[in-house]
Amino acid sequence: MELRTLRYFAAVAGTCHFGRAAEKLHMAQPPLSQAIRRLEAELGVELFTRTTRQVALTGAGEVFRTDVERILGAVDEAVTRVGRFASGVEGVLRLGLTGSASYRQLPALARLLKRTMPHVVTEVHTDMLTAAQETALLERRLDLGVLRPPLRREGIAHRALADEPLLVAVPGEHWLAGSGRIRVGQLRHEDFIVYGAGLGSVVGDAVVRACRDAGFVPHRAYEVTETSAALALVAAGLGVAVLPDSVRSAPLEGVRYEEIEDAPSVPLALAWRADDTSPLLRNVLGALERNGVFPQSADPAAGPGAVPPSLAPSVAPTGPSGRTPPHPEGDL
């Protein structure tokens, strides 16, 4: 049974008139009548009752019409979808993100893609450190990654998204809670919750360098693989965690965020395979470009720590509470 024959049947069933159906199909009436007769013979049922005055569907014809409309609709949708896929407006985008980027950048990116590319399904992989994302990109398990340069593998292109300052997450009753702004040296006697040493964390390396510049080596009390786990341990009062500013967007009961005056910033970038010629990737990058996700490096007012407007924080910084730190050494 040919698809063309089903379209012939649908035209006749929709008009109950062979002449008008033939005009709609841009064909002569006799070949159309013959095609319907052959269809009825193939099915072994009569689909239409015919008189000199009218044509009407039989009961079997009504049943067949319902299924034919469903089949033709599915075929038309398949044709439309394959066209959208080939042109890069439909498909599955596999997106990886570092743990901290999940709090601020993921909601913003997901909203933007939903609005600008509604036929794209985003498959999200969170809490992936930069090294893991690089591997996944090169192994074609990810299409895009929100990660932190410097990149260690060849064959990956990237564009800057932001430069994020580091802050410290402390328990709600910690002596530094509510300080507003502190210095790295004030953390010298604290228990640190850090990313595992063997994970290749860009943030973890930056934290160690900042502490050493302040004259001490951080005490690694707990090692984690996920930012959410680090914040949970802080909320439990088990230590402090120095993390990118993005975590402000995920307020957690029992955790306070304090700015660090002399802490470095860590970059955030969007990365993809340099040899990826997918129309979908091209369209996604174009949508991000048009909607201001990538900062304008030529804008002198932006400054090195600027965050793209579409990825800016939605949670205000924690304000000071007026507490006096109990440790006399202050920021030695």
Find the CATH number of the domain harbouring 14.
1.10.10.10
- Is 293 contained in some domain? no
Helices (H), 218-298: 227-235, 279-290
- Is 160 contained in some domain? yes
- Is 22 contained in some domain? yes
Indicate the residue among 223, 253, 270 that finishes a domain.
270
The tokens describing 224, both together, are 């984690």
- Is 104 contained in some domain? yes
> CA quadruple 31, 33, 37, 42: dihedral positive or negative?
positive
Model pTM score = 0.67
Backbone angles phi, psi at 275, to 5 degrees: -100, 10
The tokens describing 59, both together, are 């009961």
Residues 164 and 136 in one domain: yes
Indicate the residue among 34, 69, 86 that finishes a domain.
86
Q: Which residues on neighbouring strands pair with residue 61, listed in sequence order? A: none
The pLDDT value recorded for residue 297 is 53
Asked if residue 244 has a cis previous peptide bond (ω within 30° of 0), the answer is no
Indicate the residue among 248, 270, 292 that finishes a domain.
270
Residues 252 and 129 in one domain: yes
Q: Which residues on neighbouring strands pair with residue 192, listed in sequence order? A: 220, 240
Could you give the 3-state DSSP secondary structure of residue 194? strand
Residues 258 and 152 in one domain: yes
Residue whose tokens read 């509604």: 118
Residues 138 and 251 in one domain: yes
The pLDDT value recorded for residue 80 is 77
Half-sphere exposure of 329 (CA within 13 A, CB side): 9
Residues 10 and 148 in one domain: no
Backbone angles phi, psi at 248, to 5 degrees: -55, -30
Could you give the 3-state DSSP secondary structure of residue 199? helix
Asked if residue 326 has a cis previous peptide bond (ω within 30° of 0), the answer is no
Residues 20 and 59 in one domain: yes
User: DSSP string covering 190-243, please?
Assistant: SEEEEE-GGG--HHHHHHHHHHHHTT---EEEEEESSHHHHHHHHHTTS-BEEE
The pLDDT value recorded for residue 87 is 67
H or E element in which residue 162 lies? strand 156-171
- Is 328 contained in some domain? no
Residues 142 and 258 in one domain: yes
Residue whose tokens read 């402090």: 240
Domain interval for residue 81 = 3-86
Half-sphere exposure of 43 (CA within 13 A, CB side): 19
Number of domains in the chain: 2
- Domain holding 259: CATH number? 3.40.190.290
Crossing angle of the two packed helices 18-25 and 29-43, in degrees rounded to 10:
110
Give the span between the Cα atoms of 291 and 88, in whole angstroms: 18
- Which residue stretches of the chain have pLDDT < 50? 298-332
- Is 282 contained in some domain? no
Calculated CA dihedral for residues 222, 226, 227, 232, nearest 10 degrees: -60
Residues 98 and 79 in one domain: no
